[in-house]
Amino acid sequence: MFHLCYIRDIIPLVLNREAVLEQIERLARSEVLHNSESLCKLLRYLAEQSLDHPGATIKEYQIATEVFHRSEDFDPQLDSVIRVQAGRLRTKLAAYYASDGTDDRILVELPKGNYALHFHENPRHSKNGDTVEGNGHPHALPEARPDPRPRPGGFAVPVLSLLLALAVAALGATLLRHPPAPAPVAAPGEAVPASIQLFWTPFLAPAYEPWVVFSNATFVGRPETGLRYSTAATPADVAAGKVFDHYTGVGEVLAVHELDEVFAHLHASLRVKRGSLFSLDDLKQNNLIFLGSPAENLTLRDIPSTRHFVFQRVATGPRKGDLAIATINPQRGEPLQSLASPSDQALTEDYAVIGYKRGLESSRLVLIVAGTTTFGTQGAVEYLCHKETLEELLSKLDVKTVDELKPFEALLRVKISRGVPVETTLVAVHPDK
């Protein structure tokens, strides 16, 4: 039962400049930002501007010319690069505070709609109005004190305050479970990495615009009373509107975003289609990227799929019925079977397959990227969208030019923390002859 009460006066939060700058450097050294030199520069710049000129508006033109050294004729109406970079930084900050930075004392936020950073004390460290102490010049972030005098409708204030607090808590919990994925590819003014160009250029043939086909498994039931996977929906179920095929996983959504970022940097676009609407004509006419395993992207059951690393249900033992990846003809040191963390435990590990193949016609390409869970799929796509990891894969394949890139299959291990893929490693790679 909830007991309603008035919230006590809020004491203004005082953050020491040196403490804030120390937190900025902690962010720059973190795992989510240590490979993003351009975002670290942007973070430091916005921090300095926000501390030196509190309340002042930071302009896109100012950032473009002073941080990214764009020419004086830079026009933010024609070039969205600063908005894109700010969005990347915003997602990195969210990812950091959802993982390594959960217990940091200072929270750094980049609200949408402006470029001024906001600094807050982590509620975990705020007791009885404590502040972050220091010897430097304090930067106050004042908040309004409630008027202690009674006024009409006063009872509504604590009620609304409580509801707002609950809504914020719910939103925070959602972000902790599913923080946005980090954005890939190149910084403003930098060339797209050679590995990105080499791997993805074959998909850019203008006559065959690439399609992304994402999984959307069928469910039966009702959203308001409960849904379950449909393994054998009857025509009567379909006619009665009991079958739902418009759901997909968080990992697939973020994977599409990753791919869109890559193709945008390559000055190309993607078309997106859910698996239930896919037809064999699509396979004949387009370059295709499939996201999700055959357990959810049912289209993969109807087309030539992977042959070296195959999705199978475990037939016996304590993991009977679980989805696994079986290695066909494993080489020395390769696992016979790869499974995600057991369903009764926190998901900390998953496995995924990459299959690079020719389509029904030799001029078309098919790329299959699939984990046994939605987060494995996301981790595998991120692996293909980042310079360092893609370089590792191309090195294993001994590929140095586009012409040398031939069909292959790869097995990946994906480490997961709080619903976020944090590390993806290459386990095995087989040429697909």
Write down the residue that tokens 């016979």 correspond to. 336
pLDDT, tens only, 333-370: 999 999 999 988 999 999 999 999 988 777 789 999 99
Question: Tokens at residue 227, please?
Answer: 């849904």
- Of residues 223 and 401, more confidence is placed in 401
Rounded CA-CA distance 269/210 in Å is 8
Q: Classify 284 as helix, strand or coil.
A: helix
- pLDDT grade for 210, boundaries at 50, 70 and 90: confident
Distance CA 324, CA 309 (A): 10
DSSP-assigned letter for residue 12: P
Find the helix or strand (DSSP H, E) in which 393 lies: helix 387-396
More confident residue, 253 or 215: 253
pTM: 0.57
Q: Is the dihedral of CA 35, 38, 44, 50 positive or negative?
A: negative
The 10s digit of each residue's pLDDT in 159-204 is 334 434 444 444 444 444 444 444 446 655 567 889 999 999 999 8
Least confident of 3-17, 50-64, 221-235, 384-398: 3-17
Query: Can you tell me the distance from the alpha carbon of 38 to that of 180, in angstroms, rounded to the nearest whole number?
Result: 19
Pairing relationship of beta strands 408-417 and 271-274 according to DSSP bridges: unpaired
> pLDDT-based confidence at 383, cuts 50/70/90?
very high
How does residue 239 score in pLDDT terms, banded at 50, 70 and 90? low
Please, what sign has the CA dihedral across residues 276, 303, 412, 367? Answer: negative
Return the H-helix or E-strand segment holding 415. strand 408-417
CA distance 163 to 9: 18
How many CB atoms are located within 10 Å of the residue 273 CB? 18
Alpha helices per DSSP H over 98-234:
156-177, 194-200
CA distance 81 to 70: 10
- Output the CA–CA distances (angstroms, integers) from residue 49 to 24, 43, 44, 56, in the order listed: 13, 10, 9, 8
- How far apart CA 330 and CA 189 sit, in angstroms, is 44
- For residue 85, the surrounding DSSP H or E stretch is helix 81-97
Using the Cα atoms of residue 49, residue 53, residue 57 and residue 62 in order, give the sign of their dihedral: negative
Q: How confident is the model at residue 290 (pLDDT cuts 50, 70, 90)?
A: very high
Average pLDDT, the chain: 77
Cα 385 to Cα 256: distance, rounded to the nearest angstrom: 11
